Amino acid sequence: MSTYLTTDRLIFREWKDEDRAPFARMNADPLVMEYLPRSLNEEESNHLVDKFQEHLQKHGYGLYAVEVKETGQFAGFIGLNRVPFKAHFTSPKKPAIEIAWRLDYEMWGQGYGSEGAQAVLNHGFDEIGLNEIVAFTVHDNTRTIYLMEKIGMEREKKGDFHYPTLPEGHPLGDFVLYSATK
């Protein structure tokens, strides 16, 4: 099992089979999934783990499984991912790289999100050599917007977009775009 980076309190690593059950429970939690179109069942959650691991193997970075150093408890994921859809900020020649996270509800409010996201942002610039990293969320997801701003990302003035896989008028379809550059 590879560890990609660590912070004072967190370990960012490859996914293990033992992560699947807590990840599936997390993806079924309506609080965790509030700003996503729907909760996921166990099969869908396991499919995500497989996709995350495949991305890690192919690109050398990805959406890392995160565990708390002190306890070894699975906390969720934080990492970098190639944006998987077409939008005004993506290009086939230069894919956009997003920073993303999803933490278990019991991990909220302890600073793990900002600690981890800052570490991953720095890792993307300093170790991977990225020049720009984007992040996006539903326009009224204030917790995620706060975290993006806390780690130094700035809102793109003309970056708002409708998430391409959601139908027009969907209540979770209007997104804001943030970015950070090296």
Q: Give 25-62 pLDDT, tens digit per residue.
A: 999 999 999 999 999 999 999 999 999 999 999 999 99
pLDDT > 70? residue 84:
yes
> Rounded to whole angstroms, how far apart are CA atoms 84 and 152?
24
- Domain 3-181 = CATH 1.10.10.410: no
% of the chain at pLDDT higher than 70: 99
pLDDT band at 91 (very low <50, low <70, confident <90, very high): confident
pTM here? 0.94
| Amino acid symbol at 23 | F
Please compute the mean of the pLDDT values over residues 135-145 and round it to a whole number. 96
- pLDDT of residue 3 exceeding 90, the answer is no
- The domain locations on the chain are 3-181
pLDDT in the model for residue 17: 96
CB 36 within 8 A of CB 91: no
Q: Rounded mean pLDDT of 107-121?
A: 97
CA 86/CA 163 separation, integer angstroms = 10
Q: What distances in angstroms separate CA 91 from CA 3, 25, 123, one per listed residue?
A: 30, 35, 23
With cut-offs at 50, 70 and 90, classify the pLDDT of residue 1.
low
Q: State the sign of the Cα–Cα–Cα–Cα dihedral 74, 80, 81, 85.
A: positive
Going 63 to 107 to 36 to 44, the CA torsion angle's sign is positive
Kindly tell me if the per-residue pLDDT of 153 is higher than 70: yes
Contact of 178 with 148, CB cutoff 8 Å? yes
Q: At what angle do helices 112-126 and 142-150 cross, to 10 degrees?
A: 50
